[in-house]
Each structure stands twice: as structure tokens, then as C-alpha cells.
Homo-oligomer: A and B are copies of this chain.
Amino acid sequence: MAVITPNRRVRKTPFTPGVEAEGVKGYTVYNHMLLPTVFESVEADAAHLKKHVQVWDVSCERQVLIKGPDALRLMKMLSPRDMDKMQADQCYYVPIVDQNGGMLNDPVAIKLADDHYWLSVADGDLWQFALGIVLALGLDVEVSEPDVSPLAVQGPRADDLMARVFGDDVRDIKFFRYKRLPFEDTSFVIARSGWSKQGGFEIYVEGADYGMPLWDALFANGRDLNVRAGCPNGIERIESGLLSFGSDMRRENTPYECGLERFCNSPLDYIGKAALADQAENGPPRQIRPLTIEGEIGPCTESWPLMAEGRQVGQVASAAYSPEFEVNVAIGMVDRSHWAPDTRIELMTEHGMRWAVVQEKFWR
């Protein structure tokens, strides 16, 4: 497998020295930044994540700053979700769509004040979309990428580790809520969130210089908790049904196809709403489904077509063997004609045809 060639354009993060010292074995690039993909092995990393606690460099979850008198107006144009219901300490998962209802990104919005938001984005320069709107309409709002690098602490012992570094206040943070808690001479927004279902937090580290001191504090306090460096895990996130924008869904998909209809409740005429009216009424023609795959599979590095009677009825873009569930777990986008549970569909992999079976629900 080819190595990755680093340069200034593919940015390192404030935590890269820690990641390298912990023996990272693979990277991907996400928002022009390095994102670790494996430390020991994807299987061993998953097993550890489910039992202990891991520290993840997810700096690549870049923030889009939306700040100024017109910030809420812009958010209401962008958001299919009703922004008036958002509380002051809340995080909102917000699928953002184009004029045709096609997904542009699926950020987590963090409300810092009525006129101040961060959008913690998936892979894609969503700030360019927001900036284009702002300049065209002459809105009074700043759009930029602030010096904020999220660090995730995930796993069943995350509360214990975080309490040692930030105090017991972290235990009271509710899911998708945040508190601002002190660290050294500063403070960080800390949310109960993260891209696993093992529980944990995301620390929005403002100021790159605080990166390694925080990393070191977490490791120093976590030795007896068996803390390790980790990263979004390719097995655990499929088991958990966590979708990867760019892989499982793209601009050609609507939020309804992605099973995100509960996040499309804005009463306002947001960008794309009219185009989504039919799917809101009648449901989408295809949708995300959990699948199992029979037999042996290789790594899923591009989309595998799902076929029925010589016709494509969907595709799988994420698949891995799950040691916990002893089956190949997968995420697919499946046509309505074949999305019912227990439907068996031919899956075309580069290693040959495999049978895929639609599941009732994800594994957790």
C-alpha cells in the first residue's frame, strides 16, 4: 500500500506529535488535514475502544465560524432543522443541502451565542458555500475557519478520565450539550458527543499551543485506565450506523435518503426545502440500510453495486468484518424495491459476487 506524502497543504494538527509518538500506522486526509485511521489494527483498536478509553485527534473536524448580526439569518437559510428551538448550550446535527435537496455536508452546529455558531463539518469546504451566500447578499456575518482543533475522548471510561482533567462537572454534561470548562489559563467548549457509540466527549481546543499539553494531561491521567490513542474506527462506526459523508452519502443524496428526516423540521423556506417536499410527503426512493454480507470480503475502498436481475438497486460503500458480532457488517443505500429486512441482494465486489442481506436495524 502506498504511503502518504506530507506537505503544508495536507496539514498536520496540534496533536500530530502525540499521534506519531503513539505509533499511528495509517492516515486519511479530511478537510485538508491528516486524520489517523489505525494504530494497532482496526480490529484491536475497536476492541480496546469498547472496553477502555481512547483519545482521538479529530482536528480535521474543522469549524466554520458563523458570527455577526446576520448569523442566525444565515443559519436559518442553511438549516433544514428548526433553529429557533436550539438552546444556548446545545449541539445540533444539521444536514445542509443544495437547491435540489442534495447533501452538501452534515455538520454538528454548536451555538455559542445567538449571533455566534460553529459548524463542525464533515469532509468538504462548506465555508465556501456560506461565504458565497454572505458576499452575494451582503450579510453582516463573518465566515472563517477559527483556530479550533477538536480532540475526542471516547469509550466507557471517558467520563472517568475527563473528570480527572476537567473535574466532575464533565459528568453532568448531557448528550449533545456542552459546558465551557477551564484548562490551564484558558477554557474549552466540551460537548458530550463523538463519532462512536461508546460514549464520550469532544473537546474543542481553541489555540493550537494547548494541543500537546492537553494530550499529555489526558495520557498522564489515564495510565491506569489503559488510555490509548485511537481514531474513528471503521468497524465500530458501521456497527453503530454512523454515516460517513462522502462515502455512505453524497451530494446526489437527500437527508431523507440518509434517514435524517427527523432533522428536517424547519418551518422556514431554507435552501432546498421546496425540492424536498415530495420526499417529505411520500418518502425517498432509496434509503440507508444496514446489511450483512456473506462469505469473505476484502477492504471496501470504493462503492460496490447491489444488483437484482441485472439491474442496480443500490450500493454499499462501507463494510468490514465485525469480530464482536461475527459477521460482515455494512452500510448501503438501497432502492425501495429491495430495502425490506431480510431481502437478499447480489453484491458486486472486486473479489467476486457476495450475498448481502438487509437488516432490521444497526447493531447498536
Contact = CB atoms under 8 A, between A and B. Distances in A.
Contact of A27 (B4, B11, B299): B4
Interface of A: 1-12, 24-29, 32, 36-38, 98-99, 104, 123-126, 128-137, 244-247, 271, 299-303, 317-318
A131 B302 CA distance: 27
B29 A2 contact: no
Contacts of A24: 2
B5 A26 contact: yes
A93 to B, nearest CB: 18
Contacts of A299: 6
Contact of A301 (B6, B38, B301): B6
B135 A128 contact: no
Given A10-B28, A124-B128, 15 more contacts: A1-B3, A2-B4, A3-B25, A4-B26, A5-B28, A7-B247, A8-B300, A8-B302, A9-B246, A98-B131, A128-B132, A131-B132, A132-B136, A135-B271, A136-B137
Nearest to A28: B5
Contacts of A128: 104, 124-126, 128-129, 132
Contact of A29 (B29, B104, B129, B303): B29
A27 B8 contact: no
A180 B132 CA distance: 33
A119 B302 CA distance: 26
A26 B27 CA distance: 13
